[in-house]
Structures are given as C-alpha cells and as structure tokens.
Amino acid sequence: IRGRASADAAFSFALAGVDDKELYQILSIVAWKELERVGKRPSFQSSTILQMVEKLAAAGLHDDDARNIHRVAANYLEQKGEHLDLVEILRRENNDFDLFSSRPLLWLWCFSSKQTKVKEIVTENMLKSSPLSRLEALHDLKRPLVVDVGCGMGVSILGLATTALLAKDSDEDMTEGFNSFLASEEGLLMDYTALMQANFVGCDLSELKTGYAQGIVNRWNLGSRVQFVCQSAQDFLEEIEANYPGEVPLVLVQFPSPFKFRGKADDVGNSQLPLSSEDGFLACKKLLH
C-alpha cells in the first residue's frame, strides 16, 4: 500500500463503522513504514504527510498506534520547513494531536456536510440498535446519564466521555472549565464529580454517523459507559425515560438543522431542511416538553 493509501483506507473503514482493532494497527504500521520510506523525498509533499496524520487521527488512531507516525511525520515536516506549528504538537508525549484536534474534526465535518439529511425511516438495523438494547450494554444503570440528541458523528459525547473517564478530582483547571460549561441560570446542570461517574448515550437518525461513533467506542473499549443508537429523537427520549433507572441530569441538543425560511409564498427553500418549527424540526415543543 503506497503513499497515503493506508491512511485513506483507515479513514474509510472508520466511517463505515469497522471496529477491528488489528486492522487499524496493521494500517498504522503500514503508514509509519511508508512515511519512513518516502517522507524525506522532495516529491512527497508536506501536504500529503499532513493529510496522513489528520486522516489517521480522524479514524480514531491514538496512543501507541499514532506515536510512531507522529514522530516520523514531525521530523519530515521540520526538514521541509512547513507546518512547524504542528511539529511541536506531534512531538508531545501526551499525544495532543488526536480525533478531537481541529484538523481531524474538519475531515469529519467535510464528510458529514456532504451527506443527505436522513428522514425518519425505521430500518432493521435501527431496530437492532434500539435504546433499550444499547442501555443493556452499559454496566451500571444507576449512574447518571448524559444524553446527546442529534449527536451526528458523536464527537461531543466521545469528547465528554473520554475526558470524564481520564479525569482526576485534583485537576482544578479541568473542574473549573467543566463547571463553567455545565452552568445555567438555575445553577450547575451537573457538577464535574457527577460527570466523572456518568454514562453517555448519543442518538441520531443517521446509521452512517452513529455507526462511525459506535465503532470508535468499541475500539477504545468504552462500551461499558458509552453507547450510540440510531433512532428518532422523540422515541429515543421516551425509551430513556421509561427504561433508564438512574438520573438524566444533562440532555444536549446542539445545532439542530434549522427549519426552512420562506421569503416568498412560492419559495420552496432548501428541500433537505425541516418544513417548520413543528414539522420535522429536532428541537420542537413536543421534544422539549
């Protein structure tokens, strides 16, 4: 597998929800060896090196799988005298460059923005991944539950969950940051300590997007605390209310697709957008109540 093809393959497999850890390890080794082989060549552009590390990060590679690639990529980017701001990040021991970095997230956004908006269609796969079956995969249902409705590629839940699972009570900066994020006019929606103990579930109508997110969960061994489900928002929340025995202190509804604006009577607007605030709009009154 030559050039950046291994990184392209890893990204494509991740988008398809493939969760075979060995496959990604093999692709990461191929990418590492290929970078060592051709990275120093003038014909192997720095943009190609950059795309390789970005796509591998967007595919969810981290820790040891990414460390060797980052080291080699940083060396050759420095030799070529380009993207020097990234060189320092790639060389950090704590692997600051990962799925949650801005450039890998941009790859996910570019992919997601090209997908057709999914209407409310029930398929066999959606039934198999119902909220009830996903909830049963969580090990302790008495934990507080954080829910993301319309989670898309699942990055918000993945980010919250991994941060919470790795957090320490003594991290004052992290505590202050999260408490600020979780603040409302009525006070804290959920304190940092509770977040550290929480389960996390994301929901979206797109099987493709939730499949990507669940694949990351499976490969990162987060399944006992994190799950994703392909289901309508209303049905999802109703099943959570009926079947989850613990508290649900935090429900995220982030950037729902806006409903159509029709400037004129004959203006059909964007055909992929909800018709009105009560016809296909995610954050409708029924859902919020």
Q: What is the mean pLDDT of each run of 10 residues along the chain (289 residues)?
A: 93 96 95 93 92 95 85 91 87 82 94 80 53 79 91 93 70 63 63 83 92 96 94 84 88 66 56 56 55
Q: Which residues contact 275 (CB under 8 A, 6 or more apart)?
A: 259, 260
Q: Where are the beta strands (DSSP E) in the chain?
A: 145-149, 183-184, 187-188, 199-204, 226-230, 250-253
Cα→Cα distances 265→234, 261, 268, Å: 30, 11, 8
DSSP state of 283: T
- What pLDDT score was predicted for residue 231? 86
Tell me if 54 sits within 8 A of 73, measured CB to CB: no
Q: Which amino acid is at 272?
A: Q
Query: How many other C-beta atoms can be found within 10 angstroms of the C-beta atom of residue 80?
Result: 16
Residue 59 has phi, psi (to 5 degrees) of -80, -5
- Residue 69 host element (H or E): helix 64-80
CA–CA distance, 280 with 159 (Å, rounded to integer): 28
Residue indicated by tokens 């099943």: 239
- What pLDDT score was predicted for residue 273? 58
CA–CA distance, 216 with 18 (Å, rounded to integer): 9
Cα→Cα distances 267→117, 119, 218, 259, 271, Å: 20, 21, 45, 13, 11
- What pLDDT score was predicted for residue 288? 56
The reported pTM is 0.83
- What pLDDT score was predicted for residue 249? 86
H-helix segments, 116-171 = 124-128, 131-137, 155-166
CA–CA distance, 140 with 95 (Å, rounded to integer): 30
Tell me if 145 sits within 8 A of 157, measured CB to CB: no
